[in-house]
Homo-oligomer: A and B are copies of this chain.
Amino acid sequence: MTQNPKTFENLPDEKRERVLNEATSEFAEHGYHQASINRIVKRLGIAKGSLFKYFGNKQGLFEYLFGHAINQFKQPLKHIRETTSDKDFFERIEKSLLAGVDFIQAHPHIYRIYLKMLFQENFPMRDKFLSEVRRGSTKYLRPLVTAAMKSGELRNDLDPDMVVFHLDSIMDRFFQAHTVPYLDGPITLYDTDKQTTENKARAITDFLRRGLGNPS
């Protein structure tokens, strides 16, 4: 590998961003293997050799770009934990749902790459990235659940691991349904406006509260 990421990092900010954006949207649209370096450089108007100087090869470009993106993924979760109190578990869930949708709408390309990666075994660095994302999700939800069980917000006859599995499934599906049709079933979410998203997040939270919350 002859790449030299320093070369790329010395580029003017604006150009660096353009490169990453165009490449990201190419990968988002076509997945890893169908993405075409030819198309990327044509859209960018730069020489093919330059891209290879920056990142060595296709995989290097992808890893750089997705590693870069994954950091932004962690911001919103952190923000929620900091701006909400331990007191209201279900409010936190609701805010997490909305924050997730916000992030997806702000960075649709990254989320689409992530979804493609989920079931495509031959993405480079797939193991590394996916385990990182999943670990992040569990590390975020589990303390919320155990705290809520301690404080009595959640019923105490529940298995915390089950609750995490449960919440994770519902939340992920909620996000996916905002990105891909077919996944919403009877509650239509795809391509709807913000107002509707908020109503649905509220409805799901209420539903969870009724199912998991302490009736007392």
Which residues A29-64 have CB closer than 8 A to chain B? 29-31, 33-34
Cβ contact within 8 Å between A120 and B131: no
Which residues from B are CB-within-8-Å of A184? 165
User: Assembly of this chain: how many copies?
Assistant: 4
A162, A165, A170, A187 interface centre (most CB from chain B within 10 Å)? A165
The 7 residue pairs across chains A and B that have the minimum distance between CB atoms: A211-B211, A169-B173, A115-B119, A161-B186, A134-B182, A130-B182, A162-B207
A115 to B116, CA, bound (A): 10
Which residues A148-200 have CB closer than 8 A to chain B? 155, 157-159, 161-162, 164-166, 168-170, 172-174, 180-187
A142 at the interface (CB under 8 A from B): yes
Cβ contact within 8 Å between A165 and B180: no
Q: List 22 A-B contacts (CB under 8 A).
A: A31-B33, A31-B120, A115-B118, A116-B120, A119-B119, A119-B180, A120-B120, A130-B182, A137-B185, A138-B186, A142-B186, A159-B203, A159-B207, A161-B187, A165-B173, A165-B184, A165-B204, A168-B173, A169-B172, A169-B174, A211-B211, A211-B212
